Structure 1
Amino acid sequence: MTIHKEGTTSIVIAAIIVAVASLTANYFLMPAFGYIYLAILFILIVLFLFIVSFFRIPNRHFSEGENKIIAPADGKVVVIEEMVDDEYFKGKRLQMSIFMSPANVHVNRYPVSGKIVYNQYHKGKYLVAWHPKSSTDNERQSIVIDKKSKGEILVKQIAGALAKRICNYAKVGEEAKQNDELGFIKFGSRVDVLLPIGIEIKVQLNQKVQGGVTVLATW
């Protein structure tokens, strides 16, 4: 397991806060209230370890395949339904949404290989990520990948109630490689994938998926 580059600043800041808080608590509480100091120290350490774990990148054996559409994120499948996309396709698509809790790995990956033909940031609200309108009303970044001889799919990084920063590495005109890093969303979020109607679905509602591993659908 390694730590993602997006976590460097957050981890350093957290370490400084923990160190200062610990020294302050030690100065005012020891030795008369040693048990209170130990309780505070324990809480600080747990919070620090949680922040470190949020930026983890676990070692995995990725799934690959020209006909496979791989999960772009860790989390739980909360939506599988037909919808009308007004942003890019201007027509019906199959939407699959993955909710990422703060405990999930938050690296986002390309579900397929292909040419990046669209990459657009949208300002928005910070509704809870499982809210139905979070796909259209929240802060988000939409990326469209053109899979040669197969078609186009749209991947949407969506900020949640806690997520205040979407990191996106996609560039229009470049070639995306399946399972390479697309970006990162900090602290609780959601990723939508818009697929062609009639594609073969391989997951179910409420199923837990792993980014780069679980096959969402096949062409």
Structure 2
Amino acid sequence: MSFTVINTFTLLDPAGAEEFEARFLTHVEWMRAQPGFLAHQAVRSADRPEVYVNLGWWERPEDFQQVLASATFQEHAEEFHKIVSVEADPSMGIARFDGAAGEPGDVLFVDFFTVEGNPEAFIGAFRAHAGAAAGIDGFVAADLAKSLFARPGGFTALTRWRDAEAALAATALPEYAALAALAEVRTVPAAHIAGNRAEPAPAGA
């Protein structure tokens, strides 16, 4: 699975959304041209509009580290830190489920899980729930990534749906109850800002 960088941006001034989004879109245009970059999905929290989350997918950690060390990235980062606080969570992709093709009006959710018990049991429960959710009319996609070191026991899931009703139906499944019993979860309903989910990493990457 692909290396996944999960960044949470919080506006220092809630009135600075337009400036941040303009700078961010310029930044990701540059990022898309870098070796090893696969894709990204940026969203804005519906409950806390000063908060943005971006998932960036890379072929290898080394590709991202090389970009991180570049002068251009450092210049962009310096500008970002003037308008947002940044929480970085380097992660590794664990599972992905594909349904219908994404559309502009889709509903997105970011779930931040914290697992205190067996992570393999949680991953199995997530796979079972996502597999069951994929049978719901309105399911589009689901991705799960495991935090490498920033959040011990931390997992992040990005799910995409045609509408909120389909997402709500997924939480009524017995598989969701089994999943929720294994972890604390913070759910962020979100609006699409830019990008789309990653294609699978090339074989051997």
Same fold (TM over 0.5): no
Higher relative contact order (CA 8 A, sep 6+): 2
TM class by smaller structure? under 0.3
**What TM-score results when the alignment is normalised by the length of structure 1?**
0.23
Tell which structure's C-alpha radius of gyration is larger: 1
**What TM-score results when the alignment is normalised by the length of structure 2?**
0.24
